[in-house]
Amino acid sequence: MTEVEVVALFKVKAGGQEITLHPEQRVKLKDEIAERLISEGRVKRAKMSPVKIYSRLFNEEIYIVADQEEMETLVSKGVKEVVYMAWEIPLLKGMDKEKLTAIYSVKKIFPGAGLVC
């Protein structure tokens, strides 16, 4: 299933019923249907909203965002918390506390900094 955001008003049939989808509405669709509607420009992939979580390791709240654009939006709003992009999280798994702390410190000093792979 793929979560998408409706771009333009349109109707679809689901379970034998006709359903009207409205702009900015979020729905989960079967992957093949979502891909077709994305290619037609009727929907776009839904971005996750910034998620704020508490880190026990750093004893502070941090943000997790979908992409660079969302990170830049938060940084431009002046958030003080460290921001990680969702794709960075799997790269952190298995790192020792020293490496995690070093990355956190760099992100704290340089808001908007990202990992380079």
Residue 72: the pLDDT is 92
Q: For the CA atoms of the chain, what is the radius of gyration?
A: 18
> What gap in Å lies between CA 90 and CA 109, rounded to an integer?
22
Residue 6: the pLDDT is 93
Task: For the chain, give every domain's residue range.
Answer: 2-45, 51-109
Residues of the chain with pLDDT under 50: none
pTM above 0.75, yes or no: no
Query: 22-37: string of b/e by CB count within 10 Å (b at 16+)?
Result: eeeeebebeeeebeeb
